[in-house]
Structure 1
Amino acid sequence: MMNELFILGELMEEPQSGYHLRNALQVSLGHHRKISYGVIYPLLEKLEKKGFLEITNVESDKKNKKIATITEKGEKRFFELMKMPVPKGAHNADIYLIKLDVMQHLALDEQIQLLDQFYQEQKDIIKDTQNALQKLAEKDSKDHWYASRKFELRLRQTTVAIEWIEKFKHELKKEW
């Protein structure tokens, strides 16, 4: 879902090559996630077979480039994916990053709803982290002290995310 959503979201902007899509996904997710061409190109072919995009060969600088263009069916799929709840799990944060990256294609109320979901996710992280800190405080040990520092970092990160969400929502409402 994650890579499919990203590709369709990027193609909502303009037709692009697999090379460009891979680089854009790498920038969006950050250097901690390695995105290989071995993931992107097979996915492009799969999306083409499903009718979500069309791939055309374009000659450029003595090279053949394959350019992907989203179809009407692909646009419908994009909006379907954007409306799906973000599943709990390992790639949860990455999916939110992708949805936030391409949410400009949604109506304002849907953008606000997405930000509210992301806000709630941060609140849940804070609650879980505070519970973990309470358990760690029950026993004084070197391991618990180090673990507490890590959880304090997580609290600060989520607090910054919440401040960002609140500011972004305010700007969205004012701007649009």
Structure 2
Amino acid sequence: MNELFILGELMEEPQTGYDLSNALQVSLGRHRKVSYGVIYPLLERLEQEGLVEITNAGTEGKNKKVVTITEKGKERFFELMQMPVPNGAHNADIYLIKLDVMQHLDLNEQLQLLDQFYQEQKDIIKDTQDALKKLAQEDSKDHWYANKKFELRLQQANITIEWIVKFKQELTKEWC
């Protein structure tokens, strides 16, 4: 996930590790802490693999390193963008990262990504509706609160679907 984000950000322009860390923090939200202890070792690994180049651009005692994506890094970015989003705790974050950098894909690839995200939301709706049906079988205070949580999840997924449909229409209009 972090590798995809960094390579995607570098597709735009070279950046410092500090800037990349801040951008990831903004992308993931304020409740997800992004550690420099994660970013800088990842940048070193990416450099060792030839995916990025790190140059020193500091002046007079300031150690400022600028990270630039290589051709091999661009190939890896496109490879990561083609990979399906795995099921798991961070798949929502991966979709957000892919949506943030999908402008580097052609229109068909962008639409495919949006279709995958759409299907993910449909699956969330189905799972949530199934859970609500089970809760409805027994009336209890605990189930009432759980029901409210599931109603929120349903609304979030439905709003996301509306957003996807509108975004696809805008994309198609923009590219035509």
1:32-91 CA deviation, whole Å, 9 max, x = no partner? Answer: 211110000000000000000000000247512111000000000000000000000000
In the alignment, residue 156 of structure 1 is paired with which amino acid?
Q
Match of 2:64 in 1: 65
In 2, distance between residues paired with 1:60 and 1:144? 61
Q: Find the counterpart in structure 1 of residue 73 from structure 2.
A: 74
- 2:6 equivalent in structure 1: 7
Q: What residue number does 1:112 align with?
A: 111
Q: Give the 5 Å matches for 1:20-169.
A: 20-60=19-59, 62-169=61-168
After the TM superposition, list the runs of 4 or more consecutive aligned residues in structure 1 that deviate by more than 3 angstroms. none
**TM-score with structure 2 length normalisation?**
0.98
SS at the partner of 2:138?
Answer: coil
CA distance in 1, matches of 2:99, 2:71: 22
Structure 1 gap ranges (5+): none
For normalisation by structure 1, the TM-score amounts to 0.98
Partner letter of residue 75 of structure 1? K
Q: Distance in 1 between matches of 2:34 and 2:164?
A: 27
In structure 1, what is the Cα distance between the partners aligned to 2:73 and 2:58?
A: 25
CA distance in 2 between counterparts of 1:91 and 1:17 reads 25
> d(CA) in 2 for partners of 1:54 and 1:80?
19
How far apart are the structure 1 equivalents of 2:14 and 2:26?
18
Deviation of the 1:142 alpha carbon: 0.3
% identical aligned pairs: 78
Structure-2 change in CA distance of 1:61 and 1:93 (3 Å):
farther
Compute the RMSD of aligned alpha carbons.
0.8
